Amino acid sequence: MKPVYMVTGGITRCAKAHPHKDFRLMVREAFDYALADLPGLERGEIDGSVCSYFSDHFTRQLMAGAMVQDYLGLNPKPSRRVEGGGATGGLCFQSAWEAVASGRMELCLAMGFETMGRVNTWKGNEFLALASDTNFDYPVGGFYTGYYAMMVRRHMFEFGTTVEQLAKVAVKNHGNALHNPYAQSPAALTVDEVRSAPTVATPLTVLDICQMSEGSAVALLASEKMARKLGGTPVRVTGVGCGTDAMRLADRPRGEVILLPHESPGDYAGLKYPGVHSFRGGRMAASLAYRMAGISDPGADLDFVELHDACTSSEIQTCEDLGLCRYGEGGSFVDSGAPFLPNLNYGLKFSGSETWRPLPVNPSGGLLACGHPVGATGLMQAVFAFWQLQGTIGKHLGNATLQLPGPRRGLIHSHAGTGTYITVSILEKV
Amino acid sequence: MDNDAKLPESEEGTVLFSVDPVIIKQHYEIDYLHSYAQDSPFFAGLARKKLMGSLCPGCGRRYATPRGHCMECGEPTTWSELPHEGRIHTYTTCYFGGEAFLQETPFTLILVEFAGVDTLFLSRLVGAEPEEVAIGMKVRARFLRNCKFKPTDVYFVPA
């Protein structure tokens, strides 16, 4: 495999709806931004593209990816669409990575969008729930927040996780987003405000879950030769991993934990895994990406994480899957303050535990606050991570509040269904 | 040739939400001829007040939600009737939902575990207030008399 670099990226800000821009124009804006940010890059040098959007129901336009390819002036070069639920963007990123790593392309465009504002929120929830088993799950009351609520209820039962710990994730991510002009719903929140917000599915409130969004993002991936030619400040993609699990939550096995290099079987004596409280696919994706990137202890080897926090609960579950803390410790990890940005005041009192070193999780604000335009989300994470590693957050966000001091290595994580497809990619400063 | 050819006009209009940009109502509806295929015996079983799960003759794994082939060893499964009593593995009460289910809110979803069965079954719980529901609670299956051949033909009540 050849080394792969991300050389530029762009984002169209997320909003509930962008009625003045269709999906082609949304992608075009992110694309133009990416090109303008790397003056050495000519459109003609792009060898091909991969397009990601999740739902044909939202788009109501089949082969929409081909129309984006056309609109960007990339015909007749190669292109394809990838789709995998909430992980669509992450899969797109890895598909572009494969095009370059295999030598098939020198420069590949990963581009994604979603147009969720074309129906009302409750119809949108129905569309999302069609990404659960339509024979056995959807007809029973198909509702993704309901599925996640059942998972976190079991997590609370197994590990003693509390609703206040979930709420702190909302406080963190919405608070981080106050400094991110790309974010859809920045807010200074308190734990009480999160808990007293309307309940959607017990124990999750409307502030525990992300919103419907429209938006787009693009990432350009290049070979070493092309990255050198283009100049700028490329970032290397040093690891990719993907994992899967049964579509139906009810089918999840109860076996043994997939261990990461820094863990031992004794850490999890008696734990039935993954059950419905953990994401085995996330652990598999992380394990593969860590092996490729040479990461043996993610809590020590990573400087930040942009993960798929469709719900506050799934951020806590995912921190465990990624091995940032052990299974069952996700709530305490949040209480300790480790995933918070050290330079921001969230109005919270942390536990003082020093079990974990500071490791900002979702410094951008994550899906909870930035929004979740499904096919764009995983690529938006890639762009935020790229800017962090470049040290250009101040330039792109208009203020440097969220810029971490000299980060070397970041992780992006994209997640579908109830953990059905999951990708993990590692980006490193060159 | 008719140089004055005209399409007939109709009385139907378009629902218009905005003119800048132009936003119109676009309707979309479809009926499928949906086959439950190899899972059909489960849905037929509901009409006979039976809960049919799967048993793998290869590895002995028992599935509460049926599947034609074993997830672990890949062998074709056989049908095996499940008990009508189980326990709540986890639960939630939904106060919102997809549009199709909004009128039914609040409703309580549960994953049911059955003794000796390796996987769970998603269903609704009725007859318990949200605060009365707990993990480990015993529940009993009931069936609709007028079967609709949907997984909601079975639901659970406190046992």
pLDDT digits (tens, 9 = 90+) for A89-110: 999 999 999 999 999 999 999 9
Contact B94 A125 (CB under 8 A): no
Count CB-CB contacts under 10 A for residue B145.
8
CA distance A59 to B34: 23
Q: Say how many residues make up chain B.
A: 159
B123–A143 C-beta distance less than 8 A:
no
Choose the mutation target among A212, A251, A418 for the interface with B, i.e. most B CBs under 10 Å. Answer: A251
State percent of chain A over pLDDT 90: 100
Q: pLDDT, tens digit, for every residue of B54-103?
A: 999 999 999 999 999 999 999 999 999 999 999 999 999 999 999 999 99
> What sign does the dihedral B34-B37-B42-B46 (CA atoms) show?
positive
The alpha carbon of residue A20 is apart from the nearest alpha carbon of chain B, in Å, by 6
Identify the pLDDT of residue A97.
98
Question: Using the beta-carbon criterion (under 8 Å), do A123 and B91 form an inter-chain contact?
Answer: no
- What beta strand segments (E) does chain B contain? 16-19, 22-24, 52-55, 62-63, 78-81, 85-94, 107-113, 121-125, 138-143, 154-158
Chain A environment of B100 (Cβ under 8 Å): 126, 142
Question: To the nearest whole angstrom, how far is the Cα of A51 from the nearest Cα of chain B?
Answer: 25
Give percent of chain A above pLDDT 70. Answer: 100
Q: List A residues 89-128 in contact with B (Cβ-Cβ < 8 A).
A: 120, 122-123, 125-126, 128
Under 8 Å CB-to-CB from A277, ≥6 apart: which residues?
A151, A152, A154, A155, A158, A159, A317
* Residues shown for chain A: 430
| Contact present, A382 and A412 (Cβ < 8 Å) | yes
Cβ neighbours of residue A164 closer than 8 Å, sequence gap 6 or more: A191, A195
Q: How far is B12 from chain A (nearest CA, A)?
A: 23
In angstroms, rounded to a whole number, what is the distance separating the alpha carbons of residues B154 and B145?
A: 10
Q: How confident is the model at residue A182 (pLDDT cuts 50, 70, 90)?
A: very high
The per-residue pLDDT for range A234-288, each reduced to its tens digit, is: 999 999 999 999 999 999 999 999 999 999 999 999 999 999 999 999 999 999 9
Across the interface, of A60, A128, A142, the residue whose CB is closest to B28 is A60
How far, in Å, CA of B142 to CA of B84, rounded?
8
| pLDDT exceeds 90 at position A69 | yes
pLDDT by residue (tens digit) across A324-344? 999 999 999 999 999 999 999
CB contact under 8 A, B151 and A157: no
What residue of A is the nearest CA neighbor of B100? A126
Supply the pLDDT for residue A368.
Answer: 98
Residues in chain B with CB shorter than 8 Å from the CB of A201 are: 92-96, 109
Per-residue model confidence as pLDDT tens digits over A378-424: 999 999 999 999 999 999 999 999 999 999 999 999 999 999 999 99
Tell me whether residues A143 and B104 touch, CB distance under 8 A.
no
Residue A422 tokens, joined: 């999951």
pLDDT over 90 (residue B43): yes
CA distance A276 to A327: 13
In this complex, the residue of A140, A204, A254 whose CB is nearest that of residue B122 is A140
Query: pLDDT-derived band of residue A142, with 50, 70 and 90 as boundaries?
Result: confident
CA-to-CA separations, A37 to A21, A392, A395, A406, in angstroms, rounded: 22, 11, 10, 21
The answer to whether A247 contacts chain B (CB < 8 Å) is no
Looking at the complex, does the CB of residue A83 fall below 8 Å from at least one CB of chain B? no
**How far apart are the C-alpha atoms of A27 and A129, rounded to whole Å?**
26
Its ipTM equals 0.96
Q: Which residue of A has its CA nearest to B119?
A: A251
Q: Answer yes or no: do A153 and B91 touch at CB < 8 A.
A: yes
Output the CA torsion A33→A34→A38→A42 (10° steps).
-100
Average pLDDT estimate for A124-147: 95
Would you say residue A72 has pLDDT above 90?
yes
When CB atoms are compared, the residue of B23, B109, B135 closest to A19 is B23
Residue of A nearest to B67 (CA): A251
Residues of B in contact with A16 (CB under 8 A): none
Helix axes A280-293, A312-321, angle to 10 degrees: 50
